[in-house]
Structure 1
Amino acid sequence: MKIKALLLATLITIASVMPGCKNMTGTQKGAAIGAGSGAAIGALIGKAAGNTAIGALIGGAVGGVSGAYIGKYMDKQKKEIQETIPNAKVEEINNGEALKVTFESKVLFDVNKYDLKEASKSAIKQLSEILVKYPDTYVQIQGHTDNTGADEYNVTLSQKRAESVMSYATSLGVQANRMMAQGMGETKPVADNTTAAGRQENRRVEFYIVANDKLKQEAAKQQQKK
């Protein structure tokens, strides 16, 4: 009964917040949702998705004035990424308190390879420069594949691709202790694997950029000033 009650309360919170979020900036979205509900939503979404790492990221929402402060920090990064890197797809998550940056695998790697293509290194370099400019974040780098090939092979390939990206970003000045590489294999498709176009979309590398402890502490101080 407690779980059902929590789920009901969370759904009510989502319903009350989401209609007004469509055209909001990250700053506005961060302020729109309460701190407690952010954690509850994150826990439920993470459990439902079977992805504890992403659940933890979403569950880190702080909301209120603190969320608005973090959202503003993320807004600036989002704008720079969009203006600088044409091959990157940038999305707000975590009610504007985090960013998801996606590269199609073909942009970065040859088929069945995990060494970054020379022509693609500029995109990672540009993103790395922005990450260095905004140091108060953690970054999770996820590699994804389509469903062709054996499961074990896909997991290994996606892990090596994520590690290649992380290694190159580290060489460009992004602190290694800010980042984590994770190979997801074929477990999290975003499109239909029965079509060539869908499989291409599923072959991707994603960056999840979230507030670190320092940024959250600074945001909390801003909350106390209100």
Structure 2
Amino acid sequence: MNGERSSFPVHRSLFSRRSLMIRRASVLLLITLFLFACKTTSDDPNARAKRGAGAGAAAGAVVGAVVGNQSGNNRTGAVVGAAAGAAIGAAIGHRMDKQQQELQQIPGVEVTRPAENEIAVGLTNDILFDFNRADLRPEAKSTLRSLANNFRQYPDEVITVEGHTDNVGSPDYNQGLSERRANSVRIYLIDESVPSSHIEARGYGESRPKATNSTPEGRQLNRRVEIHIRATQS
């Protein structure tokens, strides 16, 4: 009985130490992210790469600290994890910065950066398709060919083609039209040697407008295809 009673405080002590280490690592994550957000501005051409390094370092420190705690060397684990995370984060940020600059040179596309590890390329349906059709217009193919040439240079990314419509017509019809149009773009990119395993198509119909549907100009903006490029850690 004495042996059983004495083992319980030991387990409690280990659990308390592990919880404390996780809390400390979480605080480190928040502090690092805050400092990198403050020190990098939009005027810095390497800002995103630096923020990626900071986020990677913080996340790596958390993982490394937890793993190190389990092996009895949490300080070394945090340092190694932070270094590895910083290297991965900086590499991804630099790669995405470079690709964004290249995509911005392609005529007829709108390039934005919704997240550190994501690029969005917007194309209006009026450029890609005739009214109420899902087959690509001949003049749209040169733009998509340029995009495919870029995508092939970055094989470690996941690409999602999203179709969107305005609210003219029934929701069911618009949903189907958005799916067919997104798939047409996907098939063309695959025909241009973008790996099929890295690209998918989704239709959202009229459910995600980017402008008002009460004006012709707004509806034109809502009729669009967006290509989202997300980085992996490869």
So what's the TM-score if we normalise by structure 1?
Answer: 0.71
Give unmatched runs, 5+ long, in structure 2.
Answer: 1-26, 60-83
Distance 1:17 1:105, change over 3 A: farther
Q: Give the secondary structure class of the aligned counterpart of 1:182.
A: strand
* Structure with bigger gyration radius: 2
Give the conservation status (yes or no) of the 8 Å contact 1:71–1:98. no
For residues 134 and 123 of structure 2, what CA distance do their matches in structure 1 show? 14
Structural mapping, 1:141-156, within 5 Å = 141-156=161-176
Matched, 1:81 2:81: no
1:31 is aligned, of 45, 53, 56, to 53
Matched, 1:125 2:152: no
1:172 is aligned, of 174, 187, 192, to 192
1:92 is aligned, of 100, 110, 113, to 113
| Two-structure CA RMSD over aligned residues (Å) | 2.6
Taking every aligned residue pair, what percent have the same amino acid on both sides?
Answer: 38
- 2:70 corresponds to: none
Q: CA deviation at 1:149?
A: 0.8
Distance 1:64 1:194, change over 3 A: farther
Of 72-81 and 167-176, deviating more is 72-81
Q: Give the secondary structure class of the aligned counterpart of 1:113.
A: coil
Give the conservation status (yes or no) of the 8 Å contact 2:121–2:227. yes
Q: CA deviation at 1:15?
A: 7.7
Give the conservation status (yes or no) of the 8 Å contact 1:21–1:29. no
Matched, 1:181 2:222: no
Give the conservation status (yes or no) of the 8 Å contact 2:32–2:54. no
Q: Which runs of 4+ in 1 moved over 3 A?
A: 9-26, 32-36, 62-65
- 2:225 corresponds to: 205
For residues 114 and 90 of structure 2, what CA distance do their matches in structure 1 show? 13
So what's the TM-score if we normalise by structure 2?
Answer: 0.69
Q: Give the secondary structure class of the aligned counterpart of 1:69.
A: helix
Question: Relative CO higher for 1 or 2, CA cutoff 8 Å, sep ≥ 6?
Answer: 1
